[in-house]
Structure 1
Amino acid sequence: MIRLDNISKQNGHQILFIDASMGLQKGEKVGLVGPNGAGKSTLFRMITDQEQPDDGQVAIDTGMKIGYFSQDVGEMSGQSAVAAVMDGVGPVSALATEMAQLEAAMADPDQADAFDAIIERYGEVQARFEELDGYSVEARAREVLAGLSFSQERMDGDVGLLSGGWKMRVALARILLMRPDGMLLDEPSNHLDLESLIWLEAFLKNYDGALLMTSHDRAFMNRIINKVVEIDGGSLITYSGDLDFYDQQRALTEAQRQAQYERQQAMLAKEIKFIERFKARASHAAQVQSRVKKLDKIERVEAPRRRQTVQFDFRSPPRSGDDVLNLRDVHKRYGSQSIYAGLDFKVRRKERWAVLGANGAGKSTLLKLVAGDTTPDEGSVTIGASVRMGYFAQHSMDLLDGEETIFESLEGSFPQAGQGALRTLAGCFGFSGDDVEKPCRVLSGGEKARLVMAKMLFDPPNLLVLDEPTNHLDMATKEMLVAALADFEGTMLFVSHDRHFLGALSNRVLELTPDGIHQYGGGYSEYVARTGQEAPGLHPGG
């Protein structure tokens, strides 16, 4: 269906692809992997004809319909979310809008003179609408939006008033409703809560077209894909299987290449030693010459490129008292909406609470109450003795000074720390070499999140309150963060939609549901095993 044959592509001085090839067939679900900046988005743009390869060709079956979801959603306003989604299917949305206008005109006494003409036009429009199966398209559009956690009110509201994250969901819903022959999804899991992620996972599993996707969410990608294409040093390497299989194969290939490289290096050293030793002796001239020729002809094995993974070692936080947090009879309302009515919740030292709940259940509100960002209407929030809190929220990233460089920002927070220690810290969080000289204003969401996290963890607090800490983080940084937090000796209270993060780090679960608040001893994996669901409000297995 889609083939890339020997493509080469250069962006400025950076070579992205050299004679790279891959194919994508109907029914294949492919995960595209590679470090940031390797060319994943460029690959998508070449398939959709937004960019051309410098060499080679991109071949797509005639008549094949491709839906492409990217992080750049463009301008949306002046229509409802449901109409914006239906727009992806073609003229159905325009016909629905005209029908609504004609219905209003029929009821308008000022237009009584034109009543016959209006009725006639309405009949034409309605017939065309039915021909295109318009009524079922709208129902399907609403079903997709509901799956992505839209309320009826939000579906019918002006799409222009939505936040960036909700507009992303509208753009994603548009592609899903199209049901194209091929889908290219660039980070569809960003900005989704756990319930939406699980719904999308089921939708994509049942999709029978060709799928090529990137995602920083390992669990999400692993459950959908049956093939991995890796961008590695300008090549496209295909592995059949999921990410776990890819990791094993890659490690195996790397070990074989390393052994091959070492064997060749030993052989070369032996030959060079012989040449050096006997090159001055006339009696050995013929042997020396033949060995020199042999060395010239040998194709050198390259040493495998080591993936740079830097581990972050936590300093031990100061010990807190055994009672870390106590919320007593907490009430909290926003306008007419009651979020908490008499919440009692205690956190003891070394507990790691994952907070689960559907959109609007009050997860972020709980973290804000604990952090002192908001106050309860009634009741008390008590922080225990010797507790030092570190709070990571989505707005933390807005507090960075745009004019400072990454290094200046770190230095301002830790004036006593040496340059070497701060460079090491920056390296652990993905800022190597000259990256530390970038001003904060040019950083992406992911880079800002990494910088804020680095500042919070360098001199670690003994209570970490984290609201979606893995949003915007790539897989490698997430792995580093999970490994670092696994050894953290303090207490944690966090919200996350990343199931790998939830499973690896929680030892308690607080579940917020419309019918009450439930506490579970044991972490997220035990919660899933006990409830038969991966998120509150989902039916077992659904």
Structure 2
Amino acid sequence: QRFSANASKSKQATSRKKALEKLNLEDIQPSSRKYPYINFQMEREPGGQILKVDNLGYLSTDGSPLFGKVSFTINQGEKIALVSREASAMTAFFEVLAGKAEAHSGTFEFGKTIKVGYQPNENEVYFAGANDLDLINWLRQFSDDKDEQFLRGFLGRMLFSGEEVYKKASVLSGGEKVRCMLSKIMLHQPNFLLLDEPTNHLDLESITALNNSLQDFKGNLIFTSHDHQLMQTVANRVIEITPNGAIDSLMTFEEFLASEDVKRQREELYKGVLA
């Protein structure tokens, strides 16, 4: 499981904050590594209607609900941390909202001004057919502007410079692929981000740059992450999806984990559901 909403299990989640608290400032050596420049610019401001989800449900391959009866409305400025007992439920939820899978019940509707940027948990499908493509031509597939200098700018932000832009996409490491996917998202200038474990495979510098960019992002966001600090510092609302509905809380991630009211709601929603 990538993350459990249970407070007792949350200690297992990655927490850069706790790791850093154990260090004295004198012990921290300046890093020789570079930070990527992650900056999600929006093509246009979102309008009044952002996203409405109504009674959404999705079944696993054995027919049991991964999530069900999920309803909520997102307003301007809200950044939602998504949690669930089942990692597969969160991935399915992201895939449904991104149009990569169909819900088995319910509906959802983005506002007319909304442009979505999606970072999947698994990105291999975007690189599977890229055996002969270098990074410039890989990114060119997703761009209306085919100019090499324009594309180099986006790759350069992700630390691919000089001759590195001619590197074959098929030989990239996991972290390099994630940085390419972030370039792809920035290229499209969305005002709504769907990010399923966006810190996977990233080094500390890249995670820090992503954390800062999501805090600064002016649009809306639904994301999940193993990274406790990312969840705490970015989200201003937490939604837990269950087979019998959602727990929807306008609070920080740590407040959500500690909330007795949330625990009571969770017990009610999981009644009769096999662990």
Compute the TM-score of the two structures, normalised by the length of structure 2.
0.80
Aligned residues of 1:402 and 1:439 also touching (Cα < 8 A): yes
CA–CA separation in structure 1 for the residues paired with 2:46 and 2:5:
35
Partner SS for 2:190: coil
Instruction: Report deviation, 1:412.
Output: 3.5
Residues 361 and 510 of structure 1: CA distance in aligned 2, closer, same or farther (over 3 Å): farther
Aligned residues of 1:317 and 1:460 also touching (Cα < 8 A): yes
CA–CA separation in structure 2 for the residues paired with 1:199 and 1:518:
18
Q: Give 1:351's aligned residue.
A: 78
CA–CA separation in structure 2 for the residues paired with 1:496 and 1:440:
25
CA RMSD across the alignment: 3.3
Correspondences of 1:43-442 after superposition (within 5 Å): 192-194=2-4, 219=15, 223=18, 242-244=19-21, 246=23, 248-249=25-26, 307-334=33-60, 335-359=62-86, 362-400=89-127, 401-414=130-143, 416=145, 419-442=148-171
Residues 496 and 373 of structure 1: CA distance in aligned 2, closer, same or farther (over 3 Å): same
Give deviations 1:22-73, integer Å, cap 9, x for gaps.
Answer: xxxxxxxxxxxxxxxxxxxxxxxxxxxxxxxxxxxxxxxxxxxxxxxxxxxx
Say yes or no: does 1:455 pair with 2:184: yes
Give deviations 1:311-351, integer Å, cap 9, x for gaps.
Answer: 33333331222221112122332343023443222122221
Residues 362 and 313 of structure 1: CA distance in aligned 2, closer, same or farther (over 3 Å): closer
Say yes or no: does 1:520 pair with 2:249: yes
CA–CA separation in structure 1 for the residues paired with 2:262 and 2:52:
28
Q: Give 1:85's aligned residue.
A: none
Match of 1:476 among 205, 219, 222: 205
**How many residues align structurally?**
263
Instruction: Report deviation, 1:352.
Output: 0.9
CA–CA separation in structure 2 for the residues paired with 1:384 and 1:195:
29
Instruction: Report deviation, 1:366.
Output: 1.7
Residues 443 and 531 of structure 1: CA distance in aligned 2, closer, same or farther (over 3 Å): farther
Partner SS for 2:38: coil
Q: Give 2:272's aligned residue.
A: none
CA–CA separation in structure 2 for the residues paired with 1:467 and 1:484:
16
Aligned residues of 1:430 and 1:477 also touching (Cα < 8 A): no
Instruction: Report deviation, 1:494.
Output: 1.3
CA–CA separation in structure 1 for the residues paired with 2:14 and 2:68:
36
Say yes or no: does 1:504 pair with 2:233: yes
Aligned residues of 2:84 and 2:90 also touching (Cα < 8 A): yes
Q: Give 2:273's aligned residue.
A: none
CA–CA separation in structure 2 for the residues paired with 1:310 and 1:399:
21
Q: Give 1:265's aligned residue.
A: none
CA–CA separation in structure 1 for the residues paired with 2:218 and 2:75:
13
> Could you tell me which amino acid in structure 2 is paired with residue 249 of structure 1?
E
Residues 200 and 477 of structure 1: CA distance in aligned 2, closer, same or farther (over 3 Å): same
CA–CA separation in structure 2 for the residues paired with 1:462 and 1:392:
14
CA–CA separation in structure 2 for the residues paired with 1:529 and 1:471:
26
CA–CA separation in structure 1 for the residues paired with 2:145 and 2:65:
46
Instruction: Report deviation, 1:520.
Output: 0.5
Residues 501 and 533 of structure 1: CA distance in aligned 2, closer, same or farther (over 3 Å): farther
> Could you tell me which amino acid in structure 1 is paired with residue 57 of structure 2?
H
Give deviations 1:364-422, integer Å, cap 9, x for gaps.
Answer: 22212211222223322212111111111134332222321112222343352654443
Aligned residues of 1:317 and 1:489 also touching (Cα < 8 A): no
Q: Give 1:24's aligned residue.
A: none
Give deviations 1:260-291, integer Å, cap 9, x for gaps.
Answer: xxxxxxxxxxxxxxxxxxxxxxxxxxxxxxxx
Say which structure is richer in helix.
1
Q: Give 1:445's aligned residue.
A: 174
Partner SS for 2:154: helix
Residues 434 and 199 of structure 1: CA distance in aligned 2, closer, same or farther (over 3 Å): farther
Residues 432 and 201 of structure 1: CA distance in aligned 2, closer, same or farther (over 3 Å): farther
Look at both structures and tell me which one has the larger radius of gyration over its CA atoms.
Answer: 1
CA–CA separation in structure 2 for the residues paired with 1:412 and 1:369:
23
Residues 429 and 532 of structure 1: CA distance in aligned 2, closer, same or farther (over 3 Å): farther
Instruction: Report deviation, 1:532.
Output: 10
CA–CA separation in structure 1 for the residues paired with 2:220 and 2:10:
32
Higher RCO, Cα 8 Å, sep 6+: 2
CA–CA separation in structure 2 for the residues paired with 1:328 and 1:518:
14
Aligned residues of 1:361 and 1:513 also touching (Cα < 8 A): no
Identity in percent: 24
CA–CA separation in structure 2 for the residues paired with 1:476 and 1:330:
37
Residues 330 and 314 of structure 1: CA distance in aligned 2, closer, same or farther (over 3 Å): closer
Give deviations 1:177-229, integer Å, cap 9, x for gaps.
Answer: xxxxxxxxxxxxxxx43579x75967xxxxxxxxxxxxxx8616x64xxxxxx
Give deviations 1:410-448, integer Å, cap 9, x for gaps.
Answer: 234335265444334223323233322210111112211
Bigger CA drift: 425-434 or 383-392? Answer: 425-434
Aligned residues of 1:218 and 1:475 also touching (Cα < 8 A): no
